[in-house]
Amino acid sequence: MDLAVTRIEDTLKGYAATVQDFAQLCATAATGAFRRPWYVQETIYHMNRIGVGSIFIVVLTGIFTGMVLTLQGAIQLEPYGAVPYVSKLVSASVVRELGPVLAALMIAGRVGSGIASELATMQVTEQIDALRAEGTDPIKKLITTRLIASLVMVPVLTVITDGIAMVGGYLIAHFSLSIDTFFYWTWAFAALGPMDLVYGLLKPLVFGFIVCMVGCYAGITTSGGTVGVGHSTTHAMVTSSILILVSDFFLTKLFIYWGW
């Protein structure tokens, strides 16, 4: 009994230490954005990798999400004779929930795991220690630059996902459901208010922060050689995906509480 209690206590202490180290890393990386040097070239490089490199996957995600949502929405609205208003359902659902969440999950799978793999490789090959020996702050150079790039590009990719999803919904609505083009887009934009747009852009900021920092933390805490690199990559993707879904729930509850 005492051994079991001791193990539980050690496990809880380990989780608490992990949360503490992660919070400290987040604070250090965030404050590094306001201190020199700026590493502008590295930041632009990561913006290109995160943003441009992810366009194809978010476009595919968006267009098929919009198509499926339109088909399913039309089935649900048909008994009420409201099929022509399916664009309201598509635009509101995509901008408020599906667009930010699906884009973030796709980015977590592609970008988050990539960040973890890169930093894990640098960690096990002692490249990060070499940066410290040269007098360079590895957190600012390797993590802060990626964090800034993620905070800028994830909202941009989310906007692309939202727009493409609405286009995908239009293709089904017009060519399959025979809904007029003007009618579709008029009601699609009528369903969105200013706070919906703010609401749809605040979430990607949080999701981008989660994807980047979870990947960075998993990478720089890697140990165990090449086996550890693979473990960190998988751990980063799974953890960031779970945190995205959990944070989405609490953000939604918070926005509802504020009356948004």
- Please give the residue that has the higher pLDDT: either 147 or 14: 147
Residue written as token pair 């667009």: 99
What CA–CA distance (Å, rounded) separates 122 from 141?
13
Give the pLDDT confidence score for residue 205 in this predicted structure.
Answer: 95
Q: What Cα–Cα distance (Å) separates residue 41 from each residue in 28, 29, 44, 145, 177?
A: 20, 17, 5, 9, 48
Model pLDDT, residue 260 = 61
Mean pLDDT of 199-209: 93
- Nearest-angstrom CA–CA distance, 119 and 43: 16
**pTM for this prediction:** 0.92
One-letter amino acid of 2: D
Q: Which residues, including other chains, have CB under 8 Å from residue 71's CB and lie 6 or more apart?
A: 172, 176
Question: Among the residues of 94-144, which ranges form H helices?
Answer: 99-107, 113-124, 127-133, 138
Domain residue ranges of the chain, discontinuous segments joined by +: 2-257
d(CA 159, CA 201): 8
Q: Which residue has the tokens 């220690």?
A: 129
Q: What CA–CA distances, in Å, run from 175 to 29, 117, 178?
A: 49, 44, 6
Residue from 114, 117, 116, 96 nearest 204 by CA: 96
What pLDDT, in 10s, does the model give residues 89-120?
A: 999 999 989 999 999 999 999 999 999 999 99
